């Protein structure tokens, strides 16, 4: 038994000491915990940890296999994303006990705070006292047992799992119903209670999903889709797409869903020109000679940074929205190009991890496929707050794509229309977010860069929060960003354009004197190296490309990503369709495209008189439209229009 005294040892050192003791097979006693956060976070060893007092937030979070015994109370999120093992708490638990539980057992002898078991997937959460409101909120699986009363709206929007209540059920949440427990249910609970020495003589009500909200009622009619280049051309009042849209809505009686991003004219990088003389670009030059494009990203707080051969990343796209074959092609292409891939929502595929030399692992609100093992395998961690295509809304994955394999990695029921929560269970504000970032750093020993992905809403304020909450870089996504599925109203109308988002972010950082101290990776409709150079000159540290990479890898832009029948095998989980996708061929195609991007960035950097892309500046840019000038503050100079057109043909 090793004793760790938190009155003398900071939590960061204490967690190191706990891991070291656990590695030697020693049990651990933590004295003077005094409700400090992150005790035992990320512990993956079958040892016992006795906490002699109260623990703060995320006690035993992201652990696997350890047994925690907390004498007194715990704060928010006890057992967060725990895979296996147990936590026994002698007192009360704060909000979201057992949040995103993926297995194991959490036993609270006192009362439960609000939203207990939110987005849990498996395992058991037992409360011997009463539970506050929304117990089992959006749970996907597992079992909650409440010996006392259940509080307001128990089981709200649960899509799987069971809740047993021994006391009074105040009322039921939406899409929850009460059924009779089976003899087997009761025997299981009895055995569980016996194991923990808990006496209970009462009976139980069993609460399960009522199945009224798991699927959209009426499917959209199948029609020949307008290809995106046609769809996004200009705006006239009663064009083909408007008419088709009204027809579809008159049939289904709800909003429509599609893939891709905003498809209307918006101020963009095409409205900005480079102050470069096209004559300085000669095709005989070796584009890459004498210009540096390499950079590192993510070491603001001492983590091991990502290393990029050029200031380009692959934008986050999920296994789910995309097929496994496509994710593998993207990962392989990122390795060939010396850049970074991103898991997107829904977990890390082993094949993707193997293909990518550097991989960012994304944590979303539903904690789908989020676990300590993959965190440790990742090269960087990313907290997704929102995305440009649908700021403020959760992801959607239609039932056709929620296959057995996909459901297993995400820990959810198969075949539901999956709507991810719009917000994180444990991030209600900047103050909670800072604790979450700390949890991830504690769990991974402060070695991984942690980034934040955000859509463009109130960027000027949000970027300050990102800075103050200690992120290593920001992935900022404008209105033109694409998605695998979102409602058309949101795609077209919510958020602010990429150009404006970047400028607002830069202004926000300037407000707090942090202009050069927070890298921004800009995305949302960045098509090529020319756009990239403009974004870099404006002030971005790097750019990310999603749609462009997908198109390079065979996408035909039909915008039917959400349906699940992608004819080229990209946005599908159907084996027959996916079989059409040739991973190696498309990986090479994507990598070739990135080499063009590399050459474009290099040529333009040199043509602007620089030897390093980091020398690009606002002085290299002019605005071609009054609108772009107003957004960016760049000088308005339409005379560059002709030169800009000529330049584009040369670097294309």
Partner 1 sequence: MCGIAGIFFKTQGSNQILGRALVDMLDGCQHRGPDSTGFALYEDGIEGLRLRFMVAEDDTAALDRIRAALAAHGATLRSEKREGATVVVDVDYSGEIRPFAYAMEHAAKLVSIGSTLDIIKDVGTSHQLDETYRVSEIRGSHGIGHVRLATESDVKPEAAHPFWATGFADVAIVHNGQITNYWKMRRRLEARGFEFRTDNDSELIAVYVADKLARGETLEQALEQSVDDLDGTFSFLVSTKDGIGFAKDRLAAKPMVMYEDDGLVAIASEEVSLNRLFPGKPLATTEPAPGTFRTWSRSI
Show the binding pattern over residues 248-287: x = contacts partner 1 (CB under 8 A), - = does not: ----------------------------------------
Residues near partner 1 (CB under 8 A), total = 40
Tokens of 269: 């990088």
Q: Report the 10 Å Cβ neighbour count for 224.
A: 7
Interface residue with partner 1, options 13, 34, 194, 277 (CB under 8 A): 34
Closest CB to partner 1 among residues 216, 446: 446
84 binds partner 1, rule: CB under 8 A: no
Closest CB to partner 1 among residues 115, 205: 115
Q: Report the 10 Å Cβ neighbour count for 214.
A: 18
Tokens of 71: 């004498």
Minimum distance, C-beta of residue 465 to partner 1, in the bound complex (Å): 6
Q: For residue 122, which of 371, 351, 382 has the smallest C-alpha distance?
A: 371
- Pick out residues in 54-73 that bind partner 1 (CB under 8 A): 54, 56-57, 71-73
567 binds partner 1, rule: CB under 8 A: no
Show the binding pattern over residues 409-448: x = contacts partner 1 (CB under 8 A), - = does not: -------------------xxxx--xx--x----------
Bridge partners of 341?
Answer: 359
Tokens of 499: 């150009």
CA angle in degrees (0–180, nearest 5) for 140-146-150: 85
Interface residue with partner 1, options 102, 205, 367, 464 (CB under 8 A): 464
Q: What is the 3-state secondary structure (H, E, C) of 246-302?
A: HHHHHHHCCCCEECCCCCCCCCCHHHEEECCCHHHCCCCCCCCCCCECCEEECCCCC
Show the binding pattern over residues 116-135: x = contacts partner 1 (CB under 8 A), - = does not: ----------------xx--
Q: What is residue 622's three-state secondary structure? A: strand
557 binds partner 1, rule: CB under 8 A: no
CA angle in degrees (0–180, nearest 5) for 481-646-527: 15
Interface residue with partner 1, options 95, 144, 359, 603 (CB under 8 A): 95
Tokens of 607: 């043509």
Q: Which 8-state DSSP code applies to residue 399?
A: G
Closest CB to partner 1 among residues 35, 208: 35
Minimum distance, C-beta of residue 200 to partner 1, in the bound complex (Å): 23
Minimum distance, C-beta of residue 429 to partner 1, in the bound complex (Å): 5
Minimum distance, C-beta of residue 72 to partner 1, in the bound complex (Å): 4
53 binds partner 1, rule: CB under 8 A: yes
Interface residue with partner 1, options 13, 235, 277, 461 (CB under 8 A): 461
Closest CB to partner 1 among residues 399, 430: 430
- Pick out residues in 499-538 that bind partner 1 (CB under 8 A): 511-512
Closest CB to partner 1 among residues 496, 589: 496
Minimum distance, C-beta of residue 477 to partner 1, in the bound complex (Å): 20
Interface residue with partner 1, options 81, 92, 159, 644 (CB under 8 A): 92
Minimum distance, C-beta of residue 462 to partner 1, in the bound complex (Å): 8
Question: What CA–CA distance (Å, rounded) separates 112 from 460?
Answer: 37
Q: Which residue has the tokens 């049939």?
A: 251
Which pairs from 133-139 meet CB under 8 Å and 24+ separation?
134/173, 135/163, 136/161, 136/163, 136/173, 136/176, 136/207, 137/173, 137/425, 138/366, 138/421, 139/163
Question: What CA–CA distance (Å, rounded) separates 164 from 144?
Answer: 6
Bridge partners of 474?
Answer: 452, 520
| Biggest distance spanned by C-alpha atoms of the chain | 88
Question: What CA–CA distance (Å, rounded) separates 401 from 416?
Answer: 9
Minimum distance, C-beta of residue 272 to partner 1, in the bound complex (Å): 29
Minimum distance, C-beta of residue 425 to partner 1, in the bound complex (Å): 11
Contacts of 12 (CB under 8 A, 6+ apart): 442, 446
Interface residue with partner 1, options 58, 68, 76, 140 (CB under 8 A): 76
Closest CB to partner 1 among residues 34, 194: 34
Tokens of 519: 């890298």
Q: For residue 387, which of 501, 481, 463, 322 has the smallest C-alpha distance?
A: 481
Closest CB to partner 1 among residues 17, 514: 514
Interface residue with partner 1, options 37, 102, 324, 419 (CB under 8 A): 37
- Pick out residues in 155-184 that bind partner 1 (CB under 8 A): none
Closest CB to partner 1 among residues 133, 164: 133
Applying CB under 8 A, the residues found at the interface with partner 1 are 7, 31-32, 34-37, 52-54, 56-57, 71-73, 75-76, 91-92, 94-95, 111, 113-114, 132-133, 428-431, 434-435, 438, 461, 464-465, 468-469, 511-512
């Amino acid at each position: 038994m090793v004793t760790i005294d938190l009155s003398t040892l900071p939590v960061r050192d204490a967690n190191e000491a706990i891991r070291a003791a656990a590695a030697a097979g020693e049990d651990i006693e933590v004295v003077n915990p005094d409700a400090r956060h992150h005790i035992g976070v990320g512990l993956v060893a079958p040892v016992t940890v006795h906490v002699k007092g109260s623990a703060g937030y995320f006690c035993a979070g992201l652990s696997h296999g350890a047994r925690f015994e907390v004498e007194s109370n715990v704060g928010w999120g006890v057992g967060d994303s725990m895979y296996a093992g147990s936590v026994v708490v002698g007192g009360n638990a704060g909000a979201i006990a057992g949040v995103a539980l993926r297995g194991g057992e959490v036993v609270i002898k006192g009362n439960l705070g609000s939203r207990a078991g939110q987005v849990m997937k498996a395992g058991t959460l037992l409360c011997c006292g009463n539970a506050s409101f929304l117990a089992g909120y959006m749970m996907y699986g597992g079992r909650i047992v409440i010996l006392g009363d259940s509080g307001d709206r128990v089981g709200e929007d649960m899509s799987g799992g069971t809740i047993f209540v021994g006391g009074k059920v105040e009322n039921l949440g939406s899409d929850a119903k009460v059924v009779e427990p089976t003899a087997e249910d009761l025997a299981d609970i009895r055995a569980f209670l016996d194991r923990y020495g808990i006496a209970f003589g009462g009976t139980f009500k069993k609460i399960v999903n009522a199945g009224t909200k798991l699927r959209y009622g009426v499917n959209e009619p199948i029609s020949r889709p307008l290809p995106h280049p046609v769809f996004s051309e200009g705006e006239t009042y009663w064009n083909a797409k408007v008419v088709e849209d009204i027809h579809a809505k008159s049939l289904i009686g709800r909003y429509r869903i599609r893939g891709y991003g905003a498809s209307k004219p918006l101020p963009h990088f095409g409205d900005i020109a480079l102050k470069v003389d096209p004559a300085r670009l000669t095709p005989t030059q070796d584009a890459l000679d004498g210009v540096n494009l390499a950079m590192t990203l993510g070491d603001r707080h001492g983590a091991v940074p990502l290393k990029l051969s050029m200031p380009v990343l692959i934008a986050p796209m999920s296994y789910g929205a995309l097929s496994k074959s496509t994710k593998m092609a993207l990962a392989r292409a990122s390795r060939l190009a010396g850049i970074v891939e991103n898991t997107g929502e829904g977990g890390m595929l082993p094949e993707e991890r193997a293909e990518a030399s550097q991989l960012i692992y994304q944590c979303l609100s539903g904690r789908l496929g989020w676990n300590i093992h993959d965190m440790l395998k990742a090269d960087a961690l990313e907290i997704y707050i929102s995305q440009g295509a649908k700021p403020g809304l959760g992801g959607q994955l239609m039932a056709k794509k929620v296959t057995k394999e996909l459901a297993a990695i995400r820990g959810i029921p198969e075949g539901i229309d999956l709507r991810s929560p719009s917000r994180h269970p444990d991030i209600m504000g900047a103050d909670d977010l800072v604790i979450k970032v700390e949890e991830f750093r504690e769990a991974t020993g402060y070695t991984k860069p942690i980034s934040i992905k955000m859509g463009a809403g109130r960027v000027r304020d949000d970027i300050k929060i990102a800075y103050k909450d200690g992120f290593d870089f920001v992935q900022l996504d404008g209105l033109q960003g694409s998605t695998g599925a979102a409602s058309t109203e949101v795609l077209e109308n919510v958020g602010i354009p990429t150009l404006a988002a970047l400028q607002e972010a830069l202004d926000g950082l300037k407000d707090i004197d942090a202009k050069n101290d927070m890298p921004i990776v800009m995305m949302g409709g960045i098509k090529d190296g020319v756009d990239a150079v403009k974004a870099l000159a404006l002030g971005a540290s790097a750019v990310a490309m999603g749609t462009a990479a997908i198109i390079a890898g065979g996408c035909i832009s039909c915008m039917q990503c959400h349906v699940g029948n992608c004819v080229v095998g990209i946005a599908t989980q159907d084996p027959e369709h996916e079989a059409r996708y040739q991973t190696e061929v498309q990986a090479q195609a994507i990598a070739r495209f990135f080499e063009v991007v590399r050459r474009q960035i290099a040529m333009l950097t040199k043509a602007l008189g620089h030897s390093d892309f980091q020398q690009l500046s606002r002085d290299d840019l002019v605005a071609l439209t009054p609108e772009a000038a107003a957004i960016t503050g760049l000088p308005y100079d339409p005379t560059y229009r002709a030169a800009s057109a000529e330049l584009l043909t040369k670097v294309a």
